[in-house]
Structure 1
């Protein structure tokens, strides 16, 4: 496996996700939320390859997908194009959004906020989302709930085969917690020939529900609700896989 395969891990990240299954699981939550908020203009502040942004656009909404990664944005353009009402912008989630008119909704999902380098950056990202939406508009944040994980051992989550650059690879992904910090561990290896292995380990922030509530309130939110999944289940710190915050400005 050549080094070039690892210069851009976009293909690896995308191969780890069963997008049809994931979107089918999450779509009812967002549809109902946006319908209740009468949302027509939405920004996805960490859109990645644009799967959620394109889904929302398919409902007839106007969507801006923003991401700091040029490679991810190019993948979004390749996959979904840039039809009327859907555009892609290179921008970090802590940078001003500055819409032409206040938006109805802003989302930061897929554990993206937790990938901020520090809490101050995450706080700024929350402030920018709330500043971009109208009064009565909503901000949705999804992060992993690290408090359900044991302190120390890695919990292996996925083992996938994929074809990347015409080569079959095996991708193994896990997460673990060390104190209040989360870590993602990933191993990628060829399955044929003389296999070469590549590993990645990166940290992410561990948020309590109270942390998100505080950040949103300080950013101007009038109401904040936290859920433990996309079925509107109550958040249970010791059990919920996800932590989803919905804040209304």
Structure 2
């Protein structure tokens, strides 16, 4: 480890927590595989004159990215427009093309690699008489539907804290893994969508289903999906068709 003067020194411990990001050195040294990465790319822009700064815009363009574009205001006049892409250079090219198409100028660019949740990346590994734990991006605790990881990272940290206290993982980790696996399943379905499929999906969102989307957070995907399918059963059939056939 390094002290305040960045001089390395050795420390003995029976518990080591890796909360050191997507390229975790702790995970690497513990022999834990690195999750697959995607790239978040966005530009700082002036908001269009017709845009309400209290509203976020989303575009689903599968020919550009299997994820989506977003325009998120962070002030009355400015915001960030970006996308997720599997390839950094191609994603940057797509972003610049989209900005040009929308006649929006970029003041600055931002980007970061984002790890994707993988079932084969363990959260804990025993080494000699000690334990190594991973938290947050180091563990790939990211919802692959939206590629967000703040809430799931905090839940993972809480699970690790309880594991250290009790000497074992509890139901918190089981719930987290189940939630992340569900997001992974949803992403598998969405990766097969064409733009016309997104239009059909949005058309199926009747008023009760739209109300649930505003009332239940994305971090409660199991509860959200169950209640939406009760309100609009055809959504279940759409998801099942794409899961089994890839939309063919």
Fold equivalence (TM over 0.5): no
Structure with the greater alpha carbon radius of gyration? 2
Bin the TM-score by the shorter chain. under 0.3
Higher share in helix? 2
* TM-score, length basis structure 2: 0.28
Higher share in strand? 1
